[in-house]
């Protein structure tokens, strides 16, 4: 791999025509193994999203969109007539949209692909399963390709404002999490490709280690220096004064700029504020949920106890101990210096600026 940034890995791909299959790089196996799984039915897509084989807000949106095409493929193979084929796709889409609750990209992408087969278009209701699948696939591919461009634009806007000094990030926001180079990680890799030199510090990101397993994997492949730290070392690291900024991704941003992201993000933002280190979020417009005014309204996914009490099947807590395992938390807008989007940087982070940059007000 090149030392100047290199190629980004691909984590989601479609193989074949309208009745083809969704293929996912199984992120639960990284960094030990690079393995692809094939999803030929909707149940497999939902399982992959729930178990984080595919993860990261934009990537689960793209997988969800292709998942709707997979549903149409099921209808083709079952020989369903137009009306039952359409009903099957709508039902599967509703299940896909609910596979994970916090990242709004999933619902956004599923709703967007469905719009191409919506009535009152008479052609829609009469369309054969093959026709439906072809239309859905075109739209899913469009979402995928668009995300590639959004990542590039976010990388460019963010690199232009990235402060001097080392960069601290949380979770994984790279190519694995998107259809392109990433969001927060694209800012880092774009700045690196510009010739900027710094150390990237990656929170390991308990309990599922997306920072250690995935962000470090991506950066090592690209030849960008990365150091992994346990999440609880972030305060000590910030106190050294070497961190120029923190930058993270988002799963849902509300109209006032409050941001849901991987658990631990809020704590990191509080620490950054205490040390006067600017805290940035990077996210495409598809991650904004302008129907929600503030962060308290964002549904937070809670996951199983075993992720905390016995990671990889190894008990680290006694039997009988409970576990608190929210997958996300909400960082209030006042702790965020700027939100980097594909349309520009929202700063200060206020309801007015969100509306102005996103062109929604
Ligand atoms: O549970 P995950 O791994 O899907 O959580 C991912 C995150 O929190 C990311 O920071 C976010 O989705 C942004 S990805 C560009």
Do 265 and 139 have their domain in common? no
In a domain, 2, yes or no: no
Does 131 lie in the same domain as 36?
Answer: yes
Query: Which residues, listed in sequence order, are joined to residue 13 by a DSSP beta bridge?
Result: 23
User: Which long-range contacts link 141-145 to residues 24+ away (Cβ below 8 Å)?
Assistant: 141/14, 143/61, 143/62, 143/65, 143/109, 143/112, 143/113, 143/179, 144/12, 144/14, 144/62, 144/65, 144/66, 144/179, 145/179
* Domain final residue pick, 130, 148, 166: 148
144-193 tens-digit pLDDT: 999 999 999 999 999 999 999 999 999 999 999 999 999 999 999 999 99
Residues 221, 143: one domain?
Answer: no
How far does residue 200's CA lie from ligand 1's centre (Å)?
18
4 located within any domain: no
261 lines ligand 1 (CB under 6 A): yes
Residue 354's pLDDT is 98
**Which ligand 1 atom is the nearest neighbour of the CA of 208?**
3
Instruction: Tell me if 147 CB under 6 Å of ligand 1.
Output: no
* pLDDT at site 289: 98
Residues in the chain: 361
Residue 22 falls inside a structural domain: yes
Does ligand 1 come within 6 angstroms of the Cβ of 177? yes
Atom 6 of ligand 1: nearest residue by CA position: 56
- Which active-site residues does the annotation give? 251
Query: What is the span of the domain harbouring residue 265?
Result: 156-358
Give yes or no: residues 198 and 289 share one domain: yes
Task: Give the span between the Cα atoms of 89 and 117, in whole angstroms.
Answer: 10
How many domains does the structure of the chain reveal?
2
CA 200 – CA 182 distance, rounded (Å): 15
174 and 103 housed in the same domain = no
Rounded to the nearest angstrom, the distance between the alpha carbon of 86 and the centre of ligand 1 is 31
Residues lower than pLDDT 50 in the chain = 1-4, 122
**Candidates 55, 247, 328: which one to mutate for ligand 1, based on the most atoms within 8 Å of Cβ?**
55
User: Do 17 and 131 fall into the same domain?
Assistant: yes
Q: What is the Å distance from ligand 1's center to 265 Cα?
A: 11
Last residue of a domain, one of 94, 125, 148: 148
- The answer to whether residue 5 sits within a structural domain is no
- Shared domain for 166 and 260, answered yes or no, is yes
Neighbours of 53 (CB within 10 A): 22
Q: Both 198 and 85 in a single domain?
A: no
Q: Are residues 233 and 210 in the same domain?
A: yes
CATH of the domain at 137: 1.20.120.420
Q: With respect to residue 7, please indicate whether it lies within any of the assigned structural domains.
A: no
Torsions phi, psi of 114, nearest 5? -65, -30
Identify which of 8, 64, 173 to mutate to test ligand 1's pocket (most ligand atoms within 8 A of the CB). Answer: 173
Q: Are residues 143 and 57 in the same domain?
A: yes
Cα gap 114→33, rounded to integer Å: 35
Q: Is residue 154 lining ligand 1, measured as CB closer than 6 Å?
A: no
Residue 224 lies in a domain: yes
Tell me, yes or no, whether 1 lies in a domain.
no
Q: What is the pLDDT of residue 3?
A: 41
Do 219 and 264 lie in a common domain?
Answer: yes
- DSSP alpha helix (H) spans, the chain: 42-50, 57-77, 82-97, 104-114, 122-126, 129-161, 184-193, 210, 216-222, 234-239, 265-274, 306-309, 351-358
Domain shared by 166 and 136, yes or no: no
Please tell me the predicted confidence (pLDDT) of residue 233: 98
Residue 173 domain flag: yes
Strands in 288-289's sheet, in edge-to-edge order, are: 288-289, 252-254, 259-262, 328-331
The CATH number of the domain where 310 resides is what?
A: 3.40.50.10470
Q: Of 126, 148, 170, which one is at a domain's C-terminal end?
A: 148
CA 249 to ligand 1 center in whole angstroms:
7
């Amino acid at each position: 791999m090149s030392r100047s940034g290199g190629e980004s890995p691909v984590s989601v791909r479609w193989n074949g025509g309208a009745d083809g299959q969704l293929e996912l790089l199984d992120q639960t196996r990284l960094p030990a193994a690079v393995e692809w799984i094939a999803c030929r039915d909707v149940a497999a897509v939902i399982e992959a999203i729930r178990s984080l084989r595919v993860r990261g807000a934009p990537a689960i949106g793209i997988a969800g969109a292709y998942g709707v095409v997979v549903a149409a493929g099921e209808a083709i193979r079952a020989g369903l007539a137009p009306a039952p084929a359409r009903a099957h796709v709508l039902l599967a889409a509703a299940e896909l949209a609910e596979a994970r609750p916090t990242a709004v990209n999933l619902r956004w992408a599923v709703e967007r692909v469905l719009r191409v087969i919506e009535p009152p278009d008479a052609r829609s209701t009469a369309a054969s399963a093959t026709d439906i699948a072809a239309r859905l696939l075109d739209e899913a591919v469009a979402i995928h390709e668009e995300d590639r461009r959004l990542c590039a634009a976010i990388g460019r806007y963010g690199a232009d404002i990235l402060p001097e000094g080392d960069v601290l990030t949380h979770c994984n926001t790279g190519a694995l999490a998107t259809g392109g180079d990433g969001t927060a990680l694209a800012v880092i890799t774009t700045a690196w490709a510009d010739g900027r030199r710094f150390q990237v510090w990656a929170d390991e990101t308990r309990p599922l280690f997306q920072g250690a397993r995935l962000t470090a994997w991506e950066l090592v492949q690209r030849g960008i220096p990365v150091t992994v730290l346990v999440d609880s070392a972030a305060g000590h690291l910030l106190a050294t004064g070497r961190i120029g900024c923190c930058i993270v991704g988002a799963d849902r941003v509300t109209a006032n700029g409050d941001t849901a992201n991987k658990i631990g993000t809020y704590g990191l933002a509080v620490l950054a504020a205490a040390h006067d280190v600017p805290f940035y979020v990077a996210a495409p417009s598809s991650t904004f949920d302008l129907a929600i005014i503030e962060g308290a309204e964002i549904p937070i996914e809670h996951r199983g106890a075993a992720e905390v009490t016995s990671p990889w099947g190894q008990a680290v807590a006694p039997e009988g101990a409970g576990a608190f395992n929210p997958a996300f938390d909400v960082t209030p807008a006042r702790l965020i210096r700027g939100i980097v989007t594909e349309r520009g940087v929202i700063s200060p982070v206020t309801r007015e600026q969100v509306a102005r940059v996103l062109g929604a007000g």
